[in-house]
């Protein structure tokens, strides 16, 4: 019979059928005169068995790992006790090489824990992406973005696409990427927040999934120079409403990923001990965090006891959340260590209606707050920060043309993935990561 072209993902619909699979030679093993090929077509893996002449000379002489082939044969369900991806095997009766790969470059395709140096793997990211773990993370990433969009849709938020080239800063001048925009100064956006705020009166609650850029000088496992920022902005909400919304976002999008037929099993494979977060999340005030850190003798940046106004740096934050072991909403940070736009708490104007969501093994994955909605208060805060209000006229106009209580947050896609997929660094969660000294491939 003529072979039916299939994607490996759908193989279960084609049992006892003659099919043709086109893909790449992922693995290769010769055993007792049989050749076992694992073929990868991007949608999954399938084992093909070649016997007789097919196994003998053609395979040994021509086929290298990562060569492209078309392979035809019957698909059989494997008997109990034999294992292969999907519990099936393709009994090959014909194959054709489409593109040969050079022999001997196996370590950089990253299919097994490799002894290749990290920078060699980064130079060969295009090949390393073919590896099991990296490609699995990318599939989970796709499912995560889909799940997040589904959640926002259920909550009736409208998706917008703000610009990446801007003339304003959001999160401080030290991490701005400057560029020349037809001779004028411009920056790559640090956050789409200010633009999202301007959409509230026209579109209502909004979100975006947009690249953000940070010229991070530090070399850490959780900082990228470019990352995918999931941000939303909500009108007429209270700080509590926002925290509840964030809880729903995190629990539901994870629930949807785990229920996804492709991504769910991949998460279990990458992170067997993953525990889905449950509502309500632990809530902890900044001031309580300082007490916790001091009780546990974890020092501040100067090696001293924490005092009000100290930044909780990455190492201390990690030790705290790793010890506590569950997601934490860290709230009410002092105004002096947070961004200029954050609204002060009514009961204590030293602190802000702000939140960082901390996850075990990663630390901060979300930063959010209620926004100053009063024009004069915001102007005072910007001046204190040394910001020239001129290029912010459009952002300030929101406070002139009908202001409203509102708030929002930003979620780092690579950080939530590092948590979900148990990756050591966010670099493993970005397709082509950019960080200090790395802008290729
Ligand atoms: O805490 P951040 O700087 O907050 C903002 O940008 C707000 N304007 C967002 C908002 O309210 N709309 O960044 C938000 C999140 C962080 O919690 C982190 O997950 C991620 O963005 N993030 C980074 N991820 C990777 N590499 C970096 N250099 C990151 N900087 C921030
Ligand atoms: Mg932050």
Same domain, 94 and 238: no
Q: Which residues surround ligand 2, an ion (CB under 5 A)?
A: 367
- Closest C-alpha among 352, 347, 363 to residue 407: 352
> What residues line ligand 1, using a CB cutoff of 6 Å?
170-171, 191, 193, 214, 216, 223-224, 227, 229, 231, 364-368, 408-410, 412, 414-415, 426
C-beta of residue 308 within 8 angstroms of C-beta of residue 335: no
Residue 116 lies in a domain: no
Helix (H) or strand (E) holding 330: strand 328-331
| Confidence band, pLDDT 50/70/90 cuts, at residue 329 | very high
Total domains in the chain come to: 2
Last residue of a domain, one of 55, 70, 104: 104
Same domain, 67 and 206: no
Residue 113 lies in a domain: no
Same domain, 92 and 146: no
Q: What is the pLDDT of residue 57?
A: 63
Same domain, 72 and 167: no
Q: Looking at ligand 1, which residue's alpha carbon is closest to its atom 28?
A: 223
Nearest-atom index, ligand 1, CA of 365: 19
Burial class (CB in 10 A: 0-12, 13-18, 19+), 323: exposed
Q: What is the pLDDT of residue 55?
A: 83
pLDDT at 113 over 80: no
Q: Looking at ligand 1, which residue's alpha carbon is closest to its atom 27?
A: 223
| Confidence band, pLDDT 50/70/90 cuts, at residue 59 | low
| Confidence band, pLDDT 50/70/90 cuts, at residue 60 | low
Residue 258 lies in a domain: yes
Residue 117 lies in a domain: no
Alpha carbon distance 215, 223 (integer Å): 10
Same domain, 8 and 96: yes
Rounded mean pLDDT of the chain? Answer: 95
Q: What is the pLDDT of residue 42?
A: 96
Same domain, 341 and 413: yes
| Confidence band, pLDDT 50/70/90 cuts, at residue 395 | very high
Q: What is the pLDDT of residue 58?
A: 59
Same domain, 67 and 189: no
Nearest-atom index, ligand 1, CA of 191: 6
Same domain, 246 and 361: yes
Same domain, 80 and 11: yes
Q: Which ligand is nearest to the CA of 343?
A: 1
Q: What is the pLDDT of residue 109?
A: 79
pLDDT at 112 over 80: no
The CATH number of the domain holding residue 83 is 2.40.50.140
Same domain, 239 and 307: yes
Q: Which ligand is nearest to the CA of 429?
A: 1
Structure tokens at 20: 């043709």
Q: Looking at ligand 1, which residue's alpha carbon is closest to its atom 30?
A: 223
Each residue of 86-106: pLDDT tens digit?
999 999 999 999 999 988 777
pLDDT at 429 over 90: yes
Question: End-to-end distance of the chain based on CA atoms, in angstroms?
Answer: 44
Same domain, 206 and 353: yes
Kindly give the distance from the C-alpha atom of residue 407 to the centroid of ligand 2, in angstroms, as a whole number.
15
Last residue of a domain, one of 104, 119, 149: 104
The pTM of the full predicted model, rounded to 2 decimals, is: 0.96
């Amino acid at each position: 019979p003529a072979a039916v072209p299939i994607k490996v993902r759908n193989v279960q619909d084609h049992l006892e059928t003659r099919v043709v699979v086109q893909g790449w030679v992922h693995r290769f093993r010769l055993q007792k005169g049989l050749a076992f090929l694992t073929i990868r077509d991007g949608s999954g893996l399938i084992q093909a068995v070649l016997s007789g002449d097919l196994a003998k000379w053609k395979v040994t002489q021509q086929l290298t790992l990562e060569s492209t082939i078309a392979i035809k044969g019957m698909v059989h369900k494997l008997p109990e006790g034999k294992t292969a991806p999907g519990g099936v095997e393709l009994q090959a009766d014909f194959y054709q090489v489409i593109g040969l790969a050079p022999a001997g470059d196996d370590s950089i395709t990253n299919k097994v824990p490799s002894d290749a140096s990290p920078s060699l793997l980064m130079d060969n990211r295009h090949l390393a992406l073919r590896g099991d773990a990296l490609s699995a993370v990318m599939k989970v990433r796709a499912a995560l973005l889909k799940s997040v969009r589904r959640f926002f849709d259920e909550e009736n938020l409208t998706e917008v696409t703000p610009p990446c080239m801007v003339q304003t800063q959001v999160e401080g001048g030290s991490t701005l990427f400057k560029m020349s925009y037809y001779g004028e100064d411009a920056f790559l956006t640090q956050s789409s927040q200010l633009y999202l705020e301007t959409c509230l009166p026209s579109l209502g609650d909004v979100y975006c999934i947009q690249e953000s850029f940070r010229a991070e000088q530090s070399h850490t496992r959780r900082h990228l120079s470019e990352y995918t920022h999931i941000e939303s902005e909500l009108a007429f909400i209270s700080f509590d409403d926002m925290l509840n919304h964030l809880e729903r976002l995190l629990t539901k999008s994870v629930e949807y990923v785990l229920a996804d037929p492709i991504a769910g099993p991949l998460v279990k494979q990458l992170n067997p001990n993953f525990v889905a977060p449950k509502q309500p999340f632990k809530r902890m005030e900044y001031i309580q965090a300082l007490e916790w850190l001091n009780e546990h003798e974890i020092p501040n940046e100067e090696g001293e006891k924490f005092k009000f106004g100290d930044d909780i740096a990455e190492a201390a934050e990690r030790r705290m959340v790793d010890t506590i072991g569950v997601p934490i909403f860290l709230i009410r940070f002092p105004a002096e260590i947070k961004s200029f736009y954050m609204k002060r708490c009514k009961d204590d104007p030293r602190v802000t209606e702000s939140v960082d969501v901390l996850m075990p093994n990663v630390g901060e994955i979300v930063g959010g707050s209620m926004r100053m909605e009063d024009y004069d208060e915001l102007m005072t805060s910007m001046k204190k920060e040394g910001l020239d209000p001129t290029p912010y006229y459009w952002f300030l106009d929101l406070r002139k043309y009908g202001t409203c209580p509102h708030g929002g947050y930003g979620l780092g896609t690579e950080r939530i993935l590092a948590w979900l997929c148990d990756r050591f660094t966010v670099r493993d969660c970005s397709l082509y990561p950019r960080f200090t000294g790395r802008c290729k491939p």
